[in-house]
A and B are shown apart, each in its own frame.
Chain A
């Protein structure tokens, strides 16, 4: 278990979250750093979508999930519920 987790770096997690629309792709260009809270929120959304326990952490279930084969299309547009002073990525508010 621990080696699964260690095999998934924060960078990999970050890229995965951007690639599948849990974080705005714009970070690819702007390199905008996210707060810890934003990262936890994005990971929680991924865990919820993937039907695994929602912990907000890169635990072994999450490390396993992001290495599973999947479709390359994003997991539809989540409303990124960042605080107003940060980037607003969609007209919709968080459901």
Chain B
């Protein structure tokens, strides 16, 4: 057996079937319960079914690309996959909806793939077990239609008990012992012991096994079915309570949303007031008026990184700009104590973006008077943008900004015709809310976009993401998920940023050059080391 390292820090786990509306939902839930009961019987773990996206283990049926970077391949070969314990999608088990699943536990493969077996295997991953090379083990990578109910092969049982310990044995007056059967092969009868109930049977036979005497077994099975019905009723009541809580949360969210909308309206009202004030007062400060730019005639013909329609594909409101200085609505960020929303080399100078501001760092270090508002340089950016998600300079030396679900392409400081456009025009999924980082990887000079746990590569010929993407961010070993920014520096190396730190990426080893992130402010903003900073180099 293999313990993959990650494990749950608790033993009472919840699980939820995502596709409640699918045809065999009830059978699937029964089978998942049975598979979990096998792990439960052989460890300290307990499982409770809920219907919530907060459950530890989400059971999902999906097909092909289902957004986790590990596409299914249709009928055959890959049947399912699961994620080791952890937050977010950690613990989740995904099954290929295009497989022919047999939901009645049967040994006959001609009717389809035995779902119970596959569920037992995948839920082993959800609990922290890796693949085993023991071909009798449940965790053997290749599908086997073995009878599993209740019993667990030693390899798996020892593995799960190493992770979560064995069930406490509640010793009643009857001490079960291991016996060796008299058949030709001496086999150790594994203890199928039900600690939650003390054996109650007429003959008080000292080494009794509840499922050993047929008559007693029938009575036991009726009691068990009654208990199962009671548990089912309890689960139904729990689901009803959960649905009520969900409705309550929904009402609360709507109320908060209305509150925020009213606040925004009041804010806009105040802005208009201030604007009217400004227009009345004489202009005392020297306003920086932009040098008039001649729209380069080739701009329209120059290739843009995505489809470049001559018309505006989307009826975005044409924005009228004033040359008036904008009073920033938010305080300027402290360049020695901030994370970066975006970072990029532009015209061989380093631009770092935070909120509505940017810093500009040239050969002689940080320019004076920075940070300044980003819209002083790129006035065509929306007035009410909160922050820049990502920036990079494309192969045509245009500057591409990603803000929310849209992106803007600039020829220097002039917005190229036809922009902004939605992320979907790059071939990104409509569900994507934003891009975290955009960079050209020095190793192969290709353009990459990242978001959350996934990344895409741009096909420079079509300007769209390549077909066999997205992939999982774990490729960039050591960087992790949900990064803030990334870029290629003048030294050809690629750097990834998250919170106050950054990693240099080692292209040859395809992993970060140092496991611990270094302090961004010191390297990129030339901030002096504060007394309690440890010098990374000396470390």
Contact = CB atoms under 8 A, between A and B. Distances in A.
A88 B508 CA distance: 9
B510 A76 contact: no
A76 B79 contact: no
Q: Tell me the interface secondary structure of chain A in the complex.
A: loop
A53 interface: no
Interface string B450-474: 0000000100000000000001000
Interface string A19-47: 01000111011100000000000000000
Given A25-B475, A28-B471, A67-B77, A73 B131 contact: yes
Contact of A71 (B121, B135, B509): B121
B196 interface: no
B508 A87 contact: yes
Contacts of A28: 471, 475
B78 A70 contact: yes
B494 interface: no
Central interface residue in B77, B79, B80, by most chain A CB within 10 Å: B77
A71 B122 contact: yes
A29 B457 CA distance: 9
B130 interface: yes
Contacts of B72: 72
Contact of B81 (A25, A49, A73, A75): A73
A69 B141 contact: no
Interface in B482-517: 508-510
B122 to A, nearest CB: 7
Contact of A87 (B2, B76, B77, B509): B509
B70 interface: yes
B338 to A, nearest CB: 31
A50 B142 contact: yes
B133 interface: yes
Contacts of A10: none
B146 interface: no
B510 A68 contact: no
A79 interface: no
A26 B444 CA distance: 12
A73 B142 contact: no
A69 B113 contact: yes
Contacts of B135: 51
A71 B123 CA distance: 11
B32 to A, nearest CB: 16
Central interface residue in B131, B135, B141, B509, by most chain A CB within 10 Å: B141
B79 A70 contact: yes
Contacts of B142: 50, 65, 68-71
A94 to B, nearest CB: 16
A24 B476 CA distance: 12
A4 interface: no
Contact of B79 (A24, A29, A71, A88): A71
B475 A72 contact: no
B308 interface: no
Contacts of A88: 509
A87 B510 contact: yes
Central interface residue in B76, B121, B133, by most chain A CB within 10 Å: B133
Contacts of A50: 133, 141-142
A30 B133 CA distance: 30
Contacts of A26: 475, 510
B7 interface: no
Central interface residue in A28, A49, A71, by most chain B CB within 10 Å: A71
Interface in B35-91: 70, 72, 76-82
Nearest to A21: B131
B444 to A, nearest CB: 7
Contacts of B122: 71
B2 A71 contact: no
Interface of B: 2, 4, 70, 72, 76-82, 113, 118, 121-122, 125, 130-131, 133, 135, 141-143, 443-444, 457, 471, 475, 508-510
14 contacts: A24-B510, A28-B475, A29-B443, A29-B475, A30-B510, A49-B131, A50-B133, A51-B135, A69-B142, A70-B143, A71-B81, A71-B122, A71-B141, A73-B82
Given A29-B444, A30-B510, A75-B141, 4 more contacts: A68-B143, A70-B79, A71-B122, A73-B82
